[in-house]
Structure 1
């Protein structure tokens, strides 16, 4: 039988230098491709691979290398355009062992091709049951021996018969994961750097008509005084906007780094191929007519990305506003916005092209600056995740702003944001909160989790989520120019009693701790503000200064005192200064060496109303408090967890489910599964008569509970009988419940849990976008109706488990509030950790419900559990080898 080609092994990848390549399994029809590849290899590369000279491959060898079974013999190739540039292969030499070999074209060595091929070959090998790679390497091939030692997997080597035999254990380790993520980070950051720091730009479609898209981009590039040549491309014109024009990209004399494409959608693919042949490194496609225009446009959009990546190019767009870099050494304005903000410390990503111009105007109106700006449009390739990788290392960016309309890989976003937010704040506006919809054309589906869950996951990652664009910039101007607060104490100094009271009320509503306000009176001047500010300095972690004189006063002198205080105390100070918005000139600290540009650190942001200032401060305080907490860890359970046994249970359940879509999902024994993770589920015995109930109670031990065997019915008021201590109690309970629920109901008898206790619900779902998500809430009807539920990504750290318990509004009931006795919260947190680990390690478990769970003074007791498995579950969206969407 002909081997089945594993199409799921194909992938687009980013290389170490920021370029891209396509990886796929080799096929017999690649014979000519292999011959051409081999002909370009140096004698040394051939010698290192075959341990001797081999000028050419025979037809028999070519057939052997290109014909594999994708099980015992596997080869993956990397292609760039129409050429093969690397190949890696394994040949099974034992039941779980295979011999591995690499060959990378000399011109592409050092680009990280071998490392990413190794990741994908390892994944393919593990899929086929291989756990160990062996490789024979010549001692003089220092690059290859170093590569194997740095792969991140457990490695051993020995010297014999003139070669070094390397042995690699393919099991994932913390080191191998860190190596993979570090390589991904460097590659994706470099790919964005190439886009934002081009040495030359071509505008394809730069027409002669004023107001046209291409000419607008061209004029904006010229107007920004881009530090490099700008080439217009026009089929007929000799010059556009006073600049010599070229008939095609290939006709340009010099090298071209970045191409801005502004031709009709039907002609974009031809332009991309021409740019690829020219050696262009990146594309910005401002043209519309792609995914947002319907199925035909979506096919065109997919083909655009396929062609670009195949030739090593990243794509911003299509249907985007463009990109900008205010670095004086670059001065790039490859956008449709004629006016850019000045140089600043804020990186700004916007998915919306239509909204991008307005957003940039808002930044400029506030007197803020930006470091770089990217409008991704339909986000077919370059996304916010790519920008996070870049901005994390960018020394010119201190604050990251994201306007998101969709999330392509939410789990990866959470991972990147959690890491980046430890050093640089990330502020997000996510549209579609109520509808969970995404704009037409975006290369991302709508999210399935409720918006409240998304907010919780942002919080877990250390992201500041705000409700609207006004708040986005309110928070950004505070983060960009003032230090982070050390605590929640807020001092208010004001020349208006009414405005001071509004500020104090806003502090209390936001969970801040207002110090007694300093009310200076309407005629307060600079000296009054100086005394009040000095007194607040020792008592407050942040200061809100309000200056709203009823008649014109000495605003400049008061402003100088505010700037002095902000500079000397090192504490954040924000103002409502004459009702102005942004960064008033009087409150700025001059910034060098760019006179007239972005305000310097210590400049004071102003807000039209004190409530808006406090609201921005509250976001920053929460972020600062979270960032100051030491990094959390995932604790190991006190007893042994049988992960292998649990996986075997899931595999057996899936295998026994049969075939077909309807058979893929089935319920399994949740008690047996949870027992592998040290969680005891109390048995509930179904009964069909009162006497069966009495017998069951005798076996379980008194007192008992009688309830419906269906957990959903149990939630109904009056559907449970508690504290039954003898046979007569059980008989009466059985008669009452059958009368209430109907004669056909199946009841269950269960041992009575300790009382008093609080009923809670713990769930885990395998979300297609986020992966494993753990949810927690109280089990009473009111909490369920109000949706009082908290969410976190699995696996959980100890802090995540604690935050889950404390995030629900009814949490005080667990800690002795409202007359309830305090319960065993540590036992509840331990249960959450175990469920989180199970959900993370067993992606085949698509849903796990622990309902109800009773938390008493001495422990947490799981009284009901249900688990669902699905054979069609996709791999975790942020696991496995590096690949682009």
Structure 2
């Protein structure tokens, strides 16, 4: 295709899909098993010619395995039947590369809850996992349509298709009848099927990043003979770093660039290119992508600026770039990227704008903007911290920190990961991947531009409505170490890279200055670390042997998990003697040590030692507070690693299909969404086992008495007006009404008092047992998806913002952390002699709401307020529910790139 044809075709496909009623949200780009990209979309009548072309290229064997007959040509009737579906009882998806169909998957409903599924994958694209991806997507769509079971007929010799079903993680049954294998399985996600899906996603995305970081052949499109140009700088950096692969400069007229043979076009290189580095002007980049796709390039690194960060025209250009790269099956880093570094001796790639980079080491770094890329690399070098891999995502049109984290999970050359994030495109996926990565190695995050802060120009992301505390909670759930700036990132990294993790929060302090000792102890206390040894302050004239003895006593103390060494330059002993004493003692123990030697910072040979075959060093900080802040962060991380992660909450007595039907009914008469009535909310919550207490609206004293008689005494009369609902005290409430006279008197009193405020709208409700009034919320955020919040009702919520947040899906440990995450949590445990609440009942209620919010993105907000928690259980006394048409979540239940 030439010029704008590629993008015109994409637009035509979308228009065609909408015209046939195919849901646009079914479209997805996915990373395949080999790291390439495929586009999945609903089939349309306009695919008729594409279906014929696809069929004509299939082998006789593939045709026979799909149709059980040597059907060399498709009839017009077959083509019409294949391409005309209703997107409900009959659904078909196609996988495409550059608009060419590479796979077809479909299901046909055979009864209300089951459907027959079938696939046909191009001979030239088998083994890439297209069939597995299409099964995931068809299963997710089928569940939305009320289908719970797939069946299929497969010839025994079709081992590839049988393997697709077998390895999907479902409980598959099969039997042979008339020479055909009949396969059947429930498509409701199981723990095994979800694990299989996530494992496949991980392997595919990790492999695609490895292709980028370990290219055997690199082309520089925009290589220049002008020394001051970016193209010349990047090429010089690649050569100076000693790149071990083949390098192809692309220059229209030059025969060689910097002594390397050049080629006029990417289409004329002698071998296919793994990574093409693009440094041409933004306006030319689109045509470059087209040529790269035709040349079979696997990935692009676009250093060129002038895209979304440059304004509206750049935004359109960047989206055009993204679509072209995706359709060509490639991954892209950038645009506006600072570049990539891989210090692996087998690669030695410095494809950045930095001429000097840190030495090889075990720190993996990711930064989004170019300016910060410079700062990050420079800081690492000053600290003496070697890096394994560095990547700058630039405008993050495709490859992001999530992709790099997928790679780092398995990378044996990286021990600690540092991320500088200016925005986040998919927090749910970030949380999921970061949790898996943090389980095996520390993840340190510097973050700005998330939550209520605007994303930098050029970053594709959604606006979020959640408070910054929700993002903090997401990081804590994932075990991520969050720091405030680059300096703190390296404070933590130099500790995790060079010292063992602490086993607890008990600290010893040893030094030769009373002032530094006191400062260190105060810092420990302020960060919540326990000083169990010292501070021990030696005299300034102490010998190296005395230093060693004091340190040895601290390390040997069984009540110590970490040691802080804080020294000023000694008056008598040489620095080297002190360093030698510290090295010799630290090497004898598997406990971490942080040190302050005034005038030093970072890690170096002065304090390096060998321990069990590992080269380590005592990290040095300019002041004790810096080291102790880092020690506290690493201690909290180590304790997170030690904790039981819990099991996913799965309350019983849930009727998802009923809830879905109710929500569909509520939205049928209000396409923009609306608040539910109390009765509607009661019915919907009941589908998830949440019982909302009855409350009867009344407009007269007689009606109030009748309601009280029906509900049984004692009752409460309260105003529903927002004018008084959140006022301190009992402004709009009368409680403990034990008979009709009490109800009449309360009604008269409240009406007289609130009438002038137009707040005399009342409900009658049975009186609850005294307890702790709490608030449980779930809201659907455009960026984060569902967010669950918990607080104690009243001033802690309304004035002090004492609210805890978690991101579903939750484990039982997450639920416990949510309840304990508010400062008012002691009220739940029996504050000042009060009876403790029924925590398990409260936890069950939170779990039910979290699952409900996770299941139904149409739930814009659900607020259970108040929830009365007491010794015998929990009572949901009030609820407000708002439903709206669902947004497409950033991390849906099927694999897709964002």
TM-score bracket, normalised by the shorter chain, equals over 0.9
Q: Is 1:673 matched with 2:689?
A: no
2:717 maps to 706
Change in CA separation of 1:80 and 1:552 when aligned onto 2, cut-off 3 Å: farther
Could you tell me how far apart the structure 2 residues matched to 1:675 and 1:94 are?
Answer: 29
Where 2:424 maps in the other structure, the secondary structure is coil
1:846 to 860, 870, 881: 860
Q: Is the 8 A contact 1:482 1:601 kept in 2?
A: no
Unaligned segments of structure 1, at least 5 residues: 594-599
Q: What SS does structure 1 have at the residue aligned with 2:195?
A: helix
Gap change, CA 1:839 and 1:161, over 3 Å in 2: same
Give the Cα–Cα distance (whole angstroms) in 2 for the partners of residues 504 and 679 of structure 1: 49
Deviation at 1:293, TM superposition (A): 1.4
**Cα pair distance change 1:497/1:188, threshold 3 Å:** same
The answer as to 2:872 corresponding to 1:882 is: no
Q: Deviations over 1:404-445 (max 9, x none)?
A: 111111111111112221112211111036852100110112
CA distance in 2, matches of 1:90, 1:653: 29
1:794 is aligned, of 808, 815, 840, to 808
CA contact (8 A) 1:200 1:256 kept: yes
**Does the CA-based 8 Å contact 1:669-1:866 persist in structure 2?**
no
Q: 1:571-595: per-residue Cα shift (whole Å, max 9, x none)?
A: 11111122422113211236999xx
Aligned with residue 312 of structure 1, among 326, 329, 332: 329
Taking a change above 3 Å as real, the CA distance of residues 494 and 796 of structure 1, as seen in their structure-2 partners, is same
Deviation at 1:68, TM superposition (A): 3.9
C-alpha distance in structure 2 between counterparts of 1:653 and 1:383, whole Å:
38
Q: TM-score, normalised by structure 2?
A: 0.93
Supply the distance in 2 between the matched residues of 1:846 and 1:359 (Cα, whole angstroms): 39
Pick closer, same or farther for the CA change 1:849–1:139 going to 2, 3 Å: same
1:652 to partner: Cα distance: 2.8
**Structure 2 counterpart SS, 1:850:** strand
Residue 747 of structure 1 is matched in structure 2 by: 762
Residues 87-126 of structure 1 correspond to what in structure 2 (within 5 A)?
87-126=104-143
Give the alignment of 1:134-153 within 5 angstroms: 134-153=151-170
Task: Provide the C-alpha distance between the structure 1 equivalents of 2:417 and 2:186, rounded to a whole number of angstroms.
Answer: 39
Structure 1 Cα separation of the partners of residues 865 and 45 of structure 2: 55
Deviations 1:620-639 (A, max 9, x none): 111111110122013444x6
Deviations 1:22-48 (A, max 9, x none): 122333333443333333322322232
Bigger mean CA offset, 577-586 vs 499-508:
577-586
Q: Give 1:662 deviation, angstroms.
A: 5.7
Deviation per residue, 1:145-170 (Å, 9 max, x gap)? 22222222332212122221222332
Which residue of structure 1 lines up, in the alignment, with residue 535 of structure 2?
A: 517
C-alpha distance in 1 between matches for 2:114 and 2:655: 25
Provide, for residues 300-329 of structure 1, a one-character-per-residue CA deviation record: whole Å limited to 9, x for no partner: 111111111211110000011011111011
SS in 2 for 1:531: helix
In the aligned structure 1, how far is the partner of 2:191 from the partner of 2:112? 26
Alpha-carbon distance in structure 2 between the residues aligned to 1:314 and 1:171? 32
Q: Distance in 2 between matches of 1:176 and 1:767?
A: 27
Contact 2:361/2:386 (CA < 8 Å) preserved in 1?
yes
Q: Equivalent residue for 1:605? A: 619
Partner residue in 1 for 2:628:
614
Residues 347 and 712 of structure 1: CA distance in aligned 2, closer, same or farther (over 3 Å): farther
The Cα shift of 1:63 comes to: 4.4
Change (3 A) 1:95 1:849: closer
Comparing 568-577 with 688-697, greater Cα deviation is found at 688-697
Q: 1:262 to 1:751 in 2, by over 3 A?
A: same
- The aligned length equals 874
Q: Report if the CA contact (8 A) 2:451-2:466 is conserved.
A: no
How far off is 1:393 after superposition? 1.1
Aligned residue among 42, 50, 68 for 1:25: 42
SS state at 1:882 partner: coil
Structural mapping, 1:393-542, within 5 Å: 393-432=410-449, 435-515=452-532, 516-537=534-555, 538=557, 539-542=559-562
> RMSD over aligned Cα, in angstroms?
2.5
SS at match of 2:647: coil
The farther-off stretch of 575-584 and 266-275 is: 575-584
Over 3 Å counting, the alpha-carbon distance change for 1:723 and 1:528 in structure 2 is: farther
Unaligned 5+ residue runs, structure 2? 1-17
Tell me, yes or no, if the aligned pair for 1:711 and 1:851 is still in contact at 8 Å. no
Q: Deviations over 1:84-138 (max 9, x none)?
A: 2222233444444433332222222111111112222333344444443332222
Task: Answer whether contact 1:812 1:818 (CA < 8 A) is retained.
Answer: no
Candidates 626, 643, 666, aligned match of 1:629:
643
The 8 Å contact of residues 654 and 664 in structure 1, kept in 2 or not, is answered as: no
Alpha-carbon spacing, 1:616–1:57, altered in 2? closer, same or farther (3 Å): same
**Match for 1:687 among 689, 698, 712?**
698
Q: 2:847 aligns with which of 833, 836, 842?
A: 833
Residues 496 and 722 of structure 1, relative CA distance in 2, 3 Å threshold: farther
**For 1:860 and 1:766, how far apart are their aligned partners in 2?**
24
The question of 1:646 aligning with 2:659 is answered yes
Quote how far apart the aligned CAs of 1:674 are. Answer: 2.9
Q: Which moved more, 1:382-391 or 1:551-560?
A: 551-560
Equivalent-residue separation in structure 1 for 2:119 and 2:880 (angstroms): 48
What CA distance in whole angstroms lies between the structure 2 residues aligned with 1:434 and 1:102?
A: 42
Structure 2 CA distance for partners of 1:287 and 1:712, relative to 1, 3 Å: farther
What is the match of residue 10 of structure 2?
A: none
Q: Which of 254, 260, 283 is residue 237 of structure 1 equivalent to? A: 254
2:15 match: none
Are the structure 2 counterparts of residues 648 and 414 from structure 1 closer, same or farther at C-alpha, using a change threshold of 3 Å? same
Maintained 8 Å contact 1:667/1:869: no
What is the TM-score normalised by the length of structure 1? 0.94
Which residue of the partner structure matches residue 597 of structure 1? none
- Inter-CA distance 873–778: structure 2 relative to 1 (3 Å threshold): same
Change (3 A) 1:290 1:554: same
Q: How has the CA–CA distance of structure 1 residues 154 and 68 changed in structure 2, closer, same or farther, with 3 Å as cutoff?
A: same
C-alpha contact 1:526 1:561 (8 A) present in aligned 2: yes
Helix, strand or coil for the counterpart of 1:177?
helix
Tell me if the contact between 1:795 and 1:839 (Cα under 8 Å) persists in the aligned partners.
Answer: no
CA shift in 2, pair 1:6/1:808, >3 Å: closer
Distance 1:702 1:132, change over 3 A: closer
Say yes or no: does 1:809 pair with 2:827. no
Aligned-residue offset at 1:729: 4.6
